[in-house]
Each structure stands twice: as structure tokens, then as C-alpha cells.
Amino acid sequence: MTKPIILTGDRPTGKLHIGHYVGSLRNRVLLQDQGKYEMFVFLADQQALTDHAKDPQTIVESIGNVALDYLAAGLDPEKVTIFIQSQIPELAELSMYYMNLVSLARLERNPTVKTEIAQKGFGESLPTGFLVYPISQAADITAFKANFVPVGHDQKPMIEQTREIVRSFNHAYQTDVLVEPEGIYPENEAAGRLPGLDGNAKMSKSLNNGIYLADDMDILQKKVMSMYTDPNHIRVEDPGKVEGNMVFHYLDVFGRPEDAADIAAMKDHYQRGGLGDVKTKRYLLEILERELGPIRERRVEFAKDMGQVYQMLQEGCDKARQTAAQTLSEVKSAMGINYFK
Ligand code: TRP
């Protein structure tokens, strides 16, 4: 019995924050430990380069950092193949064939890409590589014949485009080599996108409002103490608001079932008045430290031997490459362009 295949990846554009952790990393570790799937997790450095072409250094540095974040969060290279996109040339080759099956108009309609183009303000200098990255993403997914792709809601259009490419390819070449993937999306809205410390809807490096898996205890404490609460809760006796208060939002996300009663009681007390922000923040700090402390310790340990981390990545690349090469060979056979076989 072959296991269903799961594949997912991240753009290495910086260290991972706790939004990545609750939104996806934590779930990947659960999937890994179920042992029911064959899993691939990869660093999409080529995709990251589509909007960082002149700043490769950020991407290069992020490879080591994100690999450390993965290991620290509990991804186990014995159970999951961890690899780097740029080291698998078969992916670029697959993209070449898929490009002929996708119209320019279809690429321009992809809503996520459209939003990104507007946000990044490319204007007339939109790089071709950026516009076609959904095609390269289809190559990432199909090279491994992934059945399931756990991603954020913003990635739905990529999965949709991949499915179209698969159908189009299989139909055009009368084959079934490519597999239609399904997206797996976060069910928990609160965890699906964790807001920043300042209450901004997005936790991001550019907004400087995130907690990173690599942050030490001191930084974590400073960040928690600086969190946005209720600006009208001035004196301890004042009634405070729980909605939009980041401390309570994070408690809802990071609290465990056994904390539910304490958290409910705190919310009550806060809303009645008489509970200060420093107390709620200290409690949140404890809850966060319980989850992040062990991750941080593991990260420090792994970081002592970066040689070993890169060795792990290289082994992952070697393994991933075999799978991708097999699919590429099947793809070329289906098209009839494997002339010397
Ligand atoms: N686009 C994804 C992101 O921005 C990263 C990614 C690239 C990916 N290729 C993928 C995710 C393939 C899942 C499957 O986060």
C-alpha cells in the first residue's frame, strides 16, 4: 500500500514567526507523526527570487534560518523529506511544458497574484517570473504527485490552477501521469492568520510586529509587554474590552483545553474591571513560553552545527530529486519527447 502524498513549502524570506507556527508548522508536525502520509516540505527559494531577484542574500540567509525553524518546531528529517526548490532542476523543466498549457490571460486573472502585484507596486516592471510563479508552483506539486497540499487560504487559486494544468496535461497527452491535488486549509480562523502584536491584521517582518521562533526569552517578554490591548482601559478598575485585545486573542490561540476555564474567568474579570494589563500579559507570557521554550531550546541546539543542518538539506534534495526525475521522465514519455529511450 502506498501512502497518500503531502507536499507543502514556504518562501524563505526571513525567519518564521509564531503565526507560521500556529497557522501551519504545528499542523505539519501532527501530520508527520500520524505516519499515514509520505511528506515533502520544501524551501521555495526560486519563488522567493521572483520578487527578490536583486537581493538574493536575504533568501540565501533564510534557507538556514527556516531549516532551523522547521527542525526546532519538530519536523523530523527521518519522517519528512525537506528540500530546496532551486536544487531540483526537474521542476524548472516541468514548468517549461506547463507554460504552453496556460494562457497569459489565465495567469493575469489569478486573484492572489493580482493582489500581490498591486501591493508590490510592480507597474510596468512586473517580472515575467513573478507572473508565472503559479505555473512553477504547479510543477512543485505535481513533480511529487502530491495528493494533499496544506496551505493558507490565500493559496487556493494556486491549487485551482494546478488542478487545471493537471487536467489539461492529462487530456492533451491522453495520460494519467499527473495527479490532481487537493488543498488542506486551516479550519481555525483565529489561528489561520494570527494578527500582529500591534493588532494589525498581519504579522510581518516589514511591520515589525511579530514574535519569532528564534526570539530569546528577554525579547519575548518585551514583545508581550508591548502588546496592543484596549486603549481605553486606563486604570485597573476600568472595565476593559476583550474583542480586539491582542492578549486575549493570543490566549485563545495558544491556550490549551485545560486553560479554557482560567481564560474565561480572566475575560470576565477584565470586562468587569479590576484586572490590569500587566497581569494578563504575564499570564500570556507563561502560556507562550510553555509552547515556545522547548522550540527555542531545540533551535539553539541545532544551530550549533549548521554543517549538519545543510547535510540534512542535501540528503533531502537528493531524495526529492529522484522522485521529480521519475515524474519528469513519465511526463516526457507521455509527450513523446523522450527520443533516446
Ligand atoms: N506560494 C507558497 C507561499 O507563498 C509557497 C509555495 C511554493 C508552495 N510552492 C508551493 C506551497 C507548493 C505549497 C505547494 O507560501
CA 202 to centroid of chain Cα atoms: 14
pLDDT for 310 = 98
Whether 19 has a binding-site annotation, put simply, is yes
Among 8, 70, 142, 159, say which to mutate for ligand 1: greatest number of ligand atoms within 8 Å of CB: 8
**CA-CA distance, 108 to 152, in Å (whole number)?**
21
Interval 45-70: pLDDT, tens: 999 999 999 999 999 999 999 999 99
pLDDT category of residue 191 using cuts at 50, 70 and 90: low
Structural domains in the chain, CATH included, are 3-192+305-333 (3.40.50.620), 214-298 (1.10.240.10)
CA dihedral 254, 256, 260, 265 (to 10 degrees): -50
Give the residue from 219, 228, 225, 243 showing the smallest Cα distance to 198. 228
Ligand 1 centre and the CA of 304: distance in Å?
29
pLDDT in the model for residue 193: 81
Q: Is the pLDDT of residue 256 over 90?
A: yes
Q: What residue ranges line ligand 1, CB within 6 angstroms?
A: 7-11, 44, 47, 137, 140-141, 149, 151, 155
Centre of ligand 1 to C-alpha 34, Å, is 23
Q: Is 226 annotated as a binding residue?
A: no
User: Annotated binding residue at 269?
Assistant: no
In the chain, where do the E strands start and end?
5-10, 38-43, 80-84, 148-150, 182-184
CA of 330 to the centre of ligand 1 (A): 24
DSSP 8-state assignment for residue 196: P
pLDDT at 75 over 90: yes
- For a pocket test of ligand 1, which of 66, 70, 140 has the largest count of ligand atoms closer than 8 A to its C-beta? 140
pLDDT category at 341 given cuts 50, 70, 90 is confident
Average of per-residue pLDDT values in the chain: 96
Ramachandran area for residue 148 (φ above 0: left; ψ -120 to 50: alpha; else beta): beta
Tell me, what's the pLDDT at 288?
98
